[in-house]
A and B are shown apart, each in its own frame.
Chain A
Amino acid sequence: MKLFIYKSLIATIIFFIIYQITIGATINKVKKNISYLSSDENKNLIKNKIRKELKSAIKKDDYLNAEDAELIKKFFNKIKLELK
C-alpha cells in the first residue's frame, strides 16, 4: 500500500512535468501567438506597415508595371459595367 502510494505520487509528478514540457508548452505557444496577433501592438505594426507601403507607393513614378496596370484597368471597367 505504502509503496503503491509513493509510486502513484512520483508518477503524477513525472506525468505533470512531461505534459507541461510537451503538450502544455505547445498550447502556451499557440495561446501566445493568438494573443500577439490580436494585440494592440500587432495592430499598430500592421497599420504602420500599410502606411509605409502607401508612402513609398506615392513616391514612385510607376508603382504598377504596364501589364498589371492594364489588367486592373480592365477589371475596374468590367465591374463598372456590371454595376450599371
Chain B
Amino acid sequence: MNENKIYNTTTALLFVSLFIIGTLTFKDYGIGIDDKFHRLNGFFWLDYILSFTNLNELQGLVRSKLIDINDSSFPLMRDWMAYGIIFDVPAAILELIFNLDNPKEYYELRHYFNFIIFFIGCIFFYKLLSLRFERMVTFFGTCLYILSPRIYGESFYNMKDIVFLTFLVISYYYCYKCFLNFSMKNLLFLAFISAISVETRILGLSIPISFLSFYLINLLENPKEKKNLYKIFFYLLSTFFFLVLLWPYLWNAPLDNFLASIDALKNSIPNIYVFFNNEYIDNNYLPYSYIPLWILISTPFLHIILFFIGAIYLLKRLYVRLINIEKNKLNKHLWRGVKEKNDLFILLNFIILFLLVIFLNIRLFNAWKHLYFDNFYIVYLAVIGLNICCVWSKKLKKKKILTSFLIVMCAFLTFKIVKYHPYQGLYFNSLVSNNFKNKFEIDFTALSARHFYDKIFEIENNNDTINIANSSWTPLVRTLDIYEYTKQKKINLVGQDYTIAKYIYSNNISEVDKRYNKKYDIPKDFVKFYEYKIEGAIIYTIYKKNL
C-alpha cells in the first residue's frame, strides 16, 4: 500500500471512530448549568418565529413548553435578547420532531446535536489542512484538533463556544477557498457562514472585518486586485442579508438591534469573583496572565510546544518579508503564494484578537471557555510547527522516528481523554502539579452535579427527604431535572441555610471573595464526608452533619 492510501484509510478510520465513540458516549455527560437556558432560548425564539405563521397548534405546544421551563435562577429573557439562536432553535425543533418530554432525553438530544456540530467542524478542519499541507501533516494535525481534551469534552455540552469554534473553522476554510479562487460562489458560502458565526457570537465579526482588511492589504500588494472591489461589496451585503435572515432579533429593527447586540457584549458576562491562582479576583480586573496561564495549564504539552515552533517560524518569516520589502527588492511581497497568505491571515487574526481580549479587560470566568475559539488558532499554528518538524525530519531522514513519536503522543492523549471521561472539559496537562490544579476554579458548569446526586441517592436509599445546602455558586437545582419525579421530591435544596441541612455540596466556585464574605464557610458541626477527585483536582466535596 502506498503512503497516500495508508493516510486515506487511517483518516477515514479516525472519523468513523470519532463518530462511533461520540454516539456511544454522549449520554455519559452531566447536565451543565447552561443547558436549561439554551432550551429556554430555543423555545422563546421558536415561539417568536411561529407568531409570523398560521401554525397555531404548534405555537400552543411551544408555549406550553416555555411555561414548563420555569427557573428562578435564570436571568430575564428581555436582558438576553441578543443571545444567538443558531443552535437553540434547531435543537428545539428537533425536540418537537422527536416528541421528547423526558428531560433526560431532550438534554441528551442537545448533547448529541452539539457533538455532531463539533464533528462537522473536525471534517472542515481536515479539509482546510488538506488544502494547505501534505497528507501526514494533515492527518496528525486533525488528530491534534480532535485530541484537545477540553475541547473534546466540551463538544458534548457547550452549546455556544464549541458551536462558535466550529463555525469559525468553516469560515476559515471558505476564506482559504476565496484566496484560491475569488469566485462569487465561494464568497456567497463565506458570507453565509460568516453570518452564522456573527449570529452565534458577536466576536464572529472578526471574520468579515479581517477579510475586508486583508483585501485592503492585498490591494497594496497587488493594485490589480481593484477589479474585485465589487465582489467585496457583494460579500459584505450578502453577510448582512444572511445575518438579518437568520437572526430573528434583527427582524424588527436590523441596524438598531445589531448595534444593541454589540453593546450587549459588555454586559453579557456577569461581574463576579473568579478563583484564579489561589485568589478570588474581581473579573473586571483580571490579570493579563489570566488567559495565557489558563491555556498553558489546560492544553496538552505537545500542542503548546508545536504552537511555539509554528508561531516563531511565522513571525520570523513575516519579519524577513518585511525586511526584503524595505530593501526595495523587486517582486518582494508580504507573502509568497496562497499558502503563506493564509498562514499570515490566521496569524494576524490570532494576534489581534488575543491582544484585544487580554488588554481590553473583557470580563471572563470559567477558565478560558469564552475563548475556546482560540483553539483553532492554537492548533493551526501547532500544525505549522508540525509541518516544520516534518520538513526537518525529511532532511535528516528521520521521518519514521517523527511518525512513531506522533503516534505515541496521540495514544497518550487518547489515554488521558479516556481517563478523564466524562470530565475531559476539566483537563489539566501533565506538567501541572495536583496542588497547583486546586488553585483554580474547576467545575464551573457543574457537570459533576449529576455524579453528586447519584452519590447522595446511593447513600440515602430510603424515602426520607434530604436537605442539601450549597457552599458554592453552582445552581444545583438545574441538574435535578433529569431525575424521575420521586427522586426529585427526595431532594430539598436549602441554599446556605446550613442549620437544617444534612449534607453540604462544596466546590471552589464562588461569585464573592470567600476571604471576606463568609456565606460559603462550612459550619463547624459538619465534617468532610466524601471528596471527588480526578488526577488530584478536587471536583467537589460533600460535608455531612456530625450528629
Contact = CB atoms under 8 A, between A and B. Distances in A.
Given A20-B359, A24-B359, A25-B288, A3 B282 contact: no
Contacts of B351: 13
A35 interface: yes
A39 B285 CA distance: 13
A6 B325 contact: yes
A71 interface: no
Nearest to B352: A13
A6 B355 contact: no
A45 B516 contact: yes
Given A16-B359, A20-B359, A44-B517, A2 B285 contact: no
Main secondary structure of the interface of A (DSSP, over half): helix
A41 B334 CA distance: 53
A47 to B, nearest CB: 11
Contacts, number: 45
For chain B, give the interface size range. 20 to 34
A25 B288 CA distance: 9
A41 B220 contact: no
A41 B285 CA distance: 16
The 8 closest A-B pairs by CB, nearest first: A41-B516, A32-B285, A20-B359, A2-B220, A45-B516, A41-B513, A3-B325, A41-B517
Interface of B: 220-221, 282, 284-285, 288, 322, 325-326, 334, 351-352, 355, 359, 361, 512-513, 515-517
Given A10-B322, A41-B512, 9 more contacts: A2-B220, A6-B322, A6-B334, A13-B352, A24-B359, A28-B361, A31-B285, A32-B285, A45-B516
29 contacts: A2-B220, A2-B325, A3-B325, A3-B326, A5-B220, A6-B220, A6-B325, A10-B322, A13-B352, A13-B355, A16-B355, A16-B359, A17-B355, A25-B288, A28-B285, A28-B361, A32-B282, A32-B284, A35-B284, A35-B285, A36-B282, A39-B282, A40-B517, A41-B513, A41-B515, A41-B516, A41-B517, A44-B517, A45-B516
Interface of A: 1-3, 5-6, 10, 13, 16-17, 20-21, 24-25, 28, 31-32, 35-36, 39-42, 44-45
